[in-house]
Structure 1
Amino acid sequence: MHRPALPAPRPRTTTPARRRSAFRAVALLTALVLAMIPWASSASAHGSVVDPASRNYGCWLRWGNDFQNPAMQQSDPMCWQAWRTDTNAMWNWNGLYREGVGGNHQAAVPNGQLCSAGRTQGGRYTALDTVGAWKTTNIGANFTLRLYDQASHGADYFRVYITRPGFDPATRPLTWNDLQLVKTTGRYAPSQNYLIDVNTSGRSGRAVVYTIWQASHMDQSYYICSDVNFT
């Protein structure tokens, strides 16, 4: 008995509604993938002091490609505790800022919380306030501070402080009274690299360089701790 041939399958029609649904699904999947990449938010990031390296930039520089290495606990314990507390503090090393301070920095940032900008960003950077032997950058009495501004915000001003002689950041939390203002600048046009010459005299040993960067694009203030060793 001859069986009739089965009809060929009809081509599937893609309606506008189906196309919109597929587009939404692809967009959602892309967003989920990006959310899983810890450094994705840095694409529209801001900036920090890179020389002498800020605490979290230094941790990212040394361990960003090897942050799960257990050797960090012994060789770089302050970075180790920071990575364990919140890895995003290092992946987002250029996002340590507060908004709407209005120039009243000491009111916005309490003593003992200077390196985390008053536990800004929901406490993401709290580990940077931890007292201990942070890795240092060797500098001379006269040095050039370099700040990298990825988003080219510009600056209304920079203020650079150095901890007073005798202050030991390895044993004491940082307070405003521990700081000496050594440099105040004027405005900087938008750029990605700002160089600030800082002159001191008679300094030796460990210290913290504390930088306030008042960005120009809006009321956005950055508070940055860099551990140094005056040689």
Structure 2
Amino acid sequence: MTLIHFSRQFMLRTLLTIGLLLLLFLALSAFSQKASAHGYVDSPASRAIQCKSGVNKDCGQIVYEPQSLEAPKGFPAAGPADGKIASAAGAFPKLDEQSSTRWSKVSITPGTKTITWKFTANHATSKFHYYITKPDWDPNKPLTRDQLDLTPFCTHEYEGNKPPAALSHDCEVPVRTGYHIILAVWDVADTANAFYNVIDVDFGNGESDNEAPSAPNGLTVSNISSTTAALAWNASSDNVGVAGYYVYSGNSRIATVTDTEYTVNGLTAETSYAFSVRAFDAAGNVSAPSNVITVTTAAAPAAYPEWSSSTVYVGGNIITYNGLNYEAKWWTLGEIPGKADVWKLIP
């Protein structure tokens, strides 16, 4: 009887352990899906990022993590419930508060506009799709599917690729007047989730700003190394206002900035590059290019052997330790670079 009792206890404990491990596995799996990718619409500034910057007030916890508006994908057939679209299914309920005056608005005009996402944790991506409120929507009612035109005005397929830290693409924004909401949706490819960002925009009275900013001038370069180059230029002017600048390497746009300087990283040693800059305004008008400046990066620094505690070094020997280069002043064995006087730090 004792043996039978012991066997039953053992089996129960084993089953309980297996059950707890299974629950832990499922929880970790759900968490990994939830936390695998994060990002937000940076331009035109989304409601969440305007909360983080302090433009929007009384936003709740979203000020600490505007990149976390994550909910099940499948919009509009699935995804966040009506009334909880802005908060990604209620995760940040303050964002669902809706009235004509509750949120700061970004000025915009119809036509081709650049939309920029920033990613704090990029991930394999299925697509980006965009919706806008109907011409007769009611801004003093909760944001629901009935308030939105459920045919996306813009879709960008991404075929499972991982986006860079920042990704810009162009969309043809429909004609509207006054206050409207754009809903931007980023579908992750290999999880069940998507990211939902609302953008509060103001079309004004419907008049278009068709005047592009002046071309930036005085583009210069400094601090050229084997992998970096610092660019600077003079500010452009615009009839309404310059929103920022696009930086180009050849014909490829490599950065979007709002100051008049940018340091290019990740260059290849002893390689020529042609850089230029264009200004853009809030209406999406883009200037002519600046002057083109050609840069040849420096040679890569000499590669030195890693320091070894078992190697004898004499004066003049150069080694690398923790990413820094050191030169021995005299005979040494086992003395750690950076911690012993025998080693001299060199550029």
TM range (shorter): 0.5 to 0.7
User: For the residues of structure 2 that align with 1:97 and 1:173, how far apart are their CA atoms?
Assistant: 19
Alpha-carbon distance change, 154 to 139 in structure 1, aligned in 2, over 3 angstroms? farther
Q: 1:80 aligns with which of 27, 33, 57?
A: 57
Alignment partner for residue 98 of structure 2, among 131, 149, 169? 131
Give 1:94's aligned residue.
67
Looking at secondary structure, tell me which structure has more helix per residue.
Answer: 1
The aligned residue for residue 327 of structure 2 is none
State the Cα distance separating 1:161 from its structure 2 match.
0.3
> Does 2:147 align with 1:178?
yes
Which is strand-richer, 1 or 2?
2
TM-score by length of 1: 0.64
Runs of 4+ in 1 over 3 A off after TM superposition: 104-108
- Kept after mapping to 2: 8 A contact 1:47/1:95: yes
Quote the Cα distance in structure 2 between the aligned partners of 1:184 and 1:118. Answer: 22
- For 2:123 and 2:64, locate their aligned partners in 1 and report how far apart those are by CA, in whole Å: 20
Give the one of 93, 109, 121 matched to 2:80: 109
Count residues in correspondence.
Answer: 163
Unaligned runs of 5+ residues in structure 2 are 1-35, 205-347
Does 2:42 align with 1:50? yes
Q: Bigger relative contact order, structure 1 or 2, given CA contacts below 8 A and separation 6+?
A: 1
Would you say the 8 A contact 1:106–1:176 is kept in 2? no
Q: Work out whether residues 168 and 206 of structure 1, in 8 Å CA contact, stay in contact via their aligned partners in 2.
A: no
Tell me which amino acid in the other structure corresponds to 1:81.
Answer: D
Q: Matched residues in 2 for 1:202 and 1:217: separation?
A: 35
Q: Does 1:194 align with 2:157?
A: no
Larger radius of gyration: 2
Query: In 2 relative to 1, CA 179–80 (structure 1 residues): closer, same or farther, beyond 3 Å?
Result: same
- In structure 1, the gaps of 5 or more residues are 1-43, 64-75
Partners of 2:123 and 2:86 in 1: how far apart? 21
- 1:161 aligned to which of 131, 154, 157: 131
Partner residue of 2:196? 223
**8 Å CA contact retained: 1:160, 1:212:** yes
Counterparts of 1:45 and 1:214 in 2: how far apart (Å)?
Answer: 10
